[in-house]
Copies of this chain bind each other. A is one copy, B any other.
Amino acid sequence: MNKLLIVGTVAFDAIETPFGKTDKILGGAGTYIGLSASHFKLQSAIVSVVGDDFPQEYLDLLTDKNIDISGLEVVKGGKTFFWSGRYHNDLNSRDTLDTQLNVLADFQPKVPQNFKTADVVMLGNLHPLVQSSVLDQMDVKPKLVVLDTMNFWMDCALPELLDVIKRIDVITINDEEARQLSGEYSLVKAAAKIHTMGPEYVVIKKGEHGALLFHDHKIFFAPALPLEEVFDPTGAGDTFAGGFAGYITQSENVSFENMKSAIIYGSNLASFCVEKFGTEKMVDLEKEEVIARLQQFKSLTQFDIEI
């Protein structure tokens, strides 16, 4: 089986939405990416760090999903990264209520030996220096490196971000971030400019409005599935990225055509993520549900016009 190396936070989240609130629950980009990628035939590992306040049951949950956690450092006496946020009524925007970096502040990623030859590397949203450090540790050049990032790093660590962006194949960012990074309002122009920074493939996430894949003057669009109810958007972008990277890893095919299927899978998995609080739905998600929803994506988008 092909190998997927995931780097990203494993954390505690406390979430408030118009539908309720949670205490500290399992969260973090690495967690969502790992759970999402676990729907594919592959070997995966998460490189991350937690404190010894992190419950064994959460670690077990990851290993139960066949995720290798030998690269998940547990810092004795340390506290796990904690994020707390409150969503506005439309669920499209949120306020961060609290961020405690804790053990993440001094995180030095260590890639497990048997994942230094991973086929695909998924660099979740983290300091660009951490992302670079992971690439430095690879023994062979991966077939594909996917990077997720956010506006925070554009504000605080732009040179480092631009350095790591040069080394990757696919970047996934949201529309506002694409505009910020490129200085272009039009997403078509933004993607063209980001191409020149390094990545051959640019994925622009538009939340409930779907995602666009840009490559070499070609564009593909995956809608978000219209849902009766969105319960909690936390982790949707990471779940999307995990589905994308997981599908590519399984299929061993880094063509544009195959990436179309990958972002449909990403959108598919993300549509489940938002239906319950936190990771709740992703933990229980069955293969049959995913397959059935793929059929919905087909019905939603496929048409037949004779040209």
**Interfacial residues, chain A to chain B (CB-CB below 8 A):** 89-90, 185-189, 206, 209-210, 212, 218-221, 223, 226-230, 257, 260-261, 264-265, 291, 294-295, 298-305, 307
Contacts and interface: CB of A to CB of B under 8 A. Distances in A.
A186 B227 contact: yes
A228 B186 CA distance: 6
Contacts of A301: 220-221, 301-303
Given A221-B226, A230-B186, A302 B299 contact: no
Contacts of A209: 206, 209-210
Nearest to A265: B305
A188 to B, nearest CB: 5
Contacts of A264: 303, 305
Nearest to A302: B302
Given A261-B305, A305-B294, A188 B226 contact: yes
Given A223-B223, A227-B188, A303 B260 contact: yes
The count of identical subunits is 2
B221 A300 contact: yes
* A-B CB proximity, top 9 nearest: A209-B209, A260-B303, A221-B223, A188-B228, A261-B305, A301-B301, A188-B226, A221-B300, A294-B307
Nearest to A229: B186
B304 A261 contact: yes
B303 A291 contact: no
A147 B305 CA distance: 24
Contacts of A300: 219-221
Given A186-B228, A226-B187, A220 B299 contact: yes
Contacts of A291: 307
Nearest to A206: B209
25 contacts: A89-B185, A186-B227, A187-B226, A189-B228, A206-B209, A209-B209, A210-B210, A210-B223, A220-B299, A220-B300, A221-B223, A221-B300, A221-B301, A223-B223, A260-B303, A261-B303, A261-B305, A264-B303, A264-B305, A265-B305, A291-B307, A295-B307, A301-B302, A301-B303, A302-B302
A271 to B, nearest CB: 12
Contacts of A185: 89-90
